[in-house]
Amino acid sequence: MKHCTLKSVILHSVTGFICASSFIINMLFSVVSHASENQFIAWQKPQYILKAFNEIALKNEYKTTNERIVKWQDPIRYQFHYEKLKKLPLVETLLTTHLNHLAEITKHPISVSNNQPANLNIYLTNDKNYASVIKKYSGSNVKNLQRESNCMGTYRTNSANKIQSATIVIPVDHVYSRGLLVACIVEETTQVMGLPNDSDWVNPSIANDASKVELLTGLDWIIFY
C-alpha cells in the first residue's frame, strides 16, 4: 500500500486548485470574448444598421416626430458666441476640429461664418447662465432642460424637413468639471446634423448615453454616410 506524505497531499491539492482556477479563467475569458465578438459583429449587419438609423435619425429624444429624414441643404456656417465668459481658444479648436471631421464624413460644406450670417450658432457660457441662454437663443420649449442636460443642441426645419438653422449651448465650467467637454462637443454637433435621438440599445454609438463612447464610431460613420 502506497503511503501519502503531508507534502504530497499539499502538492496535489495546490496543483488541483491551479488547474481548476485556470479552467474557470479560460471559460470566463471565452464567454466574454464570445460576447464581445457577437456585439462587434451585430452592428455590422444590414438589419442592425437600418434599425439603428431609424432609431437615431427618425425619432427625437424630446418630442414626437413625423419620422421623416431631416437634413441640411444649404452650406453650414458656424459662429461662436460667448455669454458672460471669456474667449476659450481650446474649446473653439475642439469644436472646429470636429465640425471639419463631420464635413469630411458627410461631404456637406461646413465652415466658419466670417462675414456671412451664421446658421449654426454655438453659445459658450457657464452653468449659472445655462438656463437663460437656452431660453434666449435656442427656442426650445422643453421643460427643465437645463437640469436634465449637460449641454444641448437643437435645430429648426421648414415644411420640407430642411434644416434651416441650429443652436448649440455648452455650459463650459459644468462639462469641464465632469469630464464631458469632448462628449458634449461630439454629441451636440452630431445631433444638429439631423440625428436628434439618443438610444441606449444602439451600440457602439455616440447616441448611446449609457455607454462611455465619446467619439464617433464605425456605426456612426455608416449612419451619417
pLDDT at 60: 65
Q: Which residue has the higher pLDDT, 142 or 53?
A: 53
pLDDT at 74: 96
Residue whose cell numbers read 455648452: 170
pTM: 0.77
pLDDT at 44: 84
Count of CB atoms within 10 A of residue 64's CB?
7
CB 42 within 8 A of CB 135: no
pLDDT at 148: 78
Grid coordinates given for 162: 430642411
Return the exposure string of 90-108: e unless at least 16 CB atoms fall within 10 Å of the residue's CB, then b: ebeebbbebbebbbebbeb
For domain 68-224, give the fold: Collagenase (Catalytic Domain) (3.40.390)
Grid coordinates given for 156: 429648426
pLDDT at 103: 96
Among 60-74, 108-122, 164-178, the range scoring the smallest mean pLDDT is 60-74
pLDDT at 40: 56
204 burial class (0-12, 13-18, 19+ CB within 10 angstroms)? middle
Whether residue 95 has pLDDT greater than 70: yes
Mean pLDDT (the chain, rounded):
81
Whether residue 138 has pLDDT greater than 60: yes
Amino acid sitting at position 38 = N
For range 216-224, the mean pLDDT: 86
